Amino acid sequence: MREMGEIWLALEIGNSRLHWALFIGETLYSAWDTDHIAESVIQQLAKCQTLDHLLLAISPPHQKIREENTSSSPSSSSSPSSPSSPSSPSSPPPLLVASVVPSQTAIWQTYPNIRVITLDQVSLKGVYPTLGIDRALALWGAGKMWGFPMLVIDAGTALTFTAADANQCLVGGAILPGLGLQFATLGQQTEQLPLVEMQNFPSLPPRFALNTTGAIQSGVIYTILAGIKDFIEAWLQLFPNRKIAIKGGDRTLLLNYLQALYPEITVRLIVEPNLIFWGMREIVMGDE
């Protein structure tokens, strides 16, 4: 970034929704999620006169899904709270975009001050050309924050494992359908199976179920948890001093279950929803 205290926005375009962060220089001021935004709204953003207008346009209060204020002085302004101290810019702030949805990236190109992060800008070594930028950035962010070797588990639309060794070189990883996707496919692609809603089971379901919904819950949850445990154990055997971080929309649910089933591995997990933003910050600050 050009100035130390400059306001900039980070946007991660995921397959389910958008993930936003407002930075002042190196400091993450707040982070929130929204649904994908219509092209017509994006085209209006260049005309926003103040930061508050812009924030309101990209995340109207009823649309905002999660907000986390990381600044020490919470602001009273509307959602998401904009920083009160630095003066609002007269033109829209720089926007850093990382996207795994190319059609969505395309409609953001009308934004006046946009920079799209691509894989070649992440200093992670040994990447393959089609590696998702979200996986690369989350791994880079986690490794820079807590050190390498690092394994990142992303419990998002897809559940992914992505690892790098002590030389900051990609070891590799794995991709499987995330929790929501597993329930959705069973409900949609079969004649007799219902769509199971995830919010309805905060605690572990019985392993051996005597009804259809229970059987789906058991099958999806216990095999995902066993899979996560197996990947973690394989990772722990690979390197000394290795770390593990977990992010993604299903992280809290999965952590609660993991804690109940495998407390000894759960304590090793670094839980951090903002890994991709730490990765983006590394790239922005590296340019100075």
Ligand X SMILES: Nc1ncnc2c1ncn2[C@@H]1O[C@H](COP(=O)(O)OP(=O)(O)OP(=O)(O)O)[C@@H](O)[C@H]1O
Q: How far is the CB of 165 from ligand X (least distance, A)?
A: 23
* 216, containing H or E segment: helix 212-238
Give yes or no for residue 15 binding ligand PAU (CB under 6 A): yes
Q: How far is the CB of 250 from ligand X (least distance, A)?
A: 5
Q: Which residues, 6 or more positions from 97, have their beta carbon under 8 angstroms from its beta carbon?
A: 11, 12, 13, 105, 108, 114, 115, 116, 117
**In this structure, what DSSP letter does residue 2 have?**
-
- 282 binds, options ligand X, ligand PAU, none, Cβ within 5 to 8 A by partner type: none
The CB-nearest residue to ligand PAU is 132
Strand 95-99 and strand 114-116: the pairing is: parallel
Token duo for residue 66 = 């999660």
Whole-angstrom CA distances from 36 to 12, 60, 235, 278 are 11, 12, 35, 22
Q: Which is nearer to ligand PAU, 157 or 217 (CB)?
A: 157
Q: Which is nearer to ligand X, 82 or 157 (CB)?
A: 157
Q: Is 165 assigned a catalytic role?
A: no
Q: Which is nearer to ligand PAU, 28 or 158 (CB)?
A: 158
- 250 binds, options ligand X, ligand PAU, none, Cβ within 5 to 8 A by partner type: ligand X
Q: How far is the CB of 248 from ligand X (least distance, A)?
A: 4
Exactly one of 33, 134, 230, 250 is catalytic; which is it? Answer: 134
Q: Which is nearer to ligand X, 56 or 100 (CB)?
A: 100
Annotated binding site: 12-19, 128, 132-135, 154, 157, 212
How many other β-carbons are positioned within 10 Å of the β-carbon of residue 219? Answer: 15
- Are 196 and 186 in contact by the 8 Å Cβ rule? The answer is yes
Give yes or no for residue 116 binding ligand PAU (CB under 6 A): no
Annotated binding site for ATP: 12-19, 157
Q: How far is the CB of 38 from ligand X (least distance, A)?
A: 17
Give yes or no for residue 135 binding ligand PAU (CB under 6 A): yes
Q: Which is nearer to ligand PAU, 141 or 156 (CB)?
A: 156
- 179 binds, options ligand PAU, ligand X, none, Cβ within 5 to 8 A by partner type: ligand X
Q: Which of 165, 172, 155 is nearest to 227 (CA)?
A: 155
Mind spelling out the 3-state secondary structure of 39-81?
HHHHHHHHHCCCHHHHHHHHCCCCCCCEEEECCCCCCCCCCCC
Q: Tokens 């959705």 correspond to what residue? A: 184
Ordered DSSP codes for 227-264:
HHHHHHHHHHHH-TT-EEEEESTTHHHHHHHHHHH-HH
Q: How far is the CB of 200 from ligand X (least distance, A)?
A: 12
Sites of contact with ligand PAU (CB under 6 A): 15, 100, 130-132, 134-135, 156, 158, 160, 175
Active-site residue list? 134
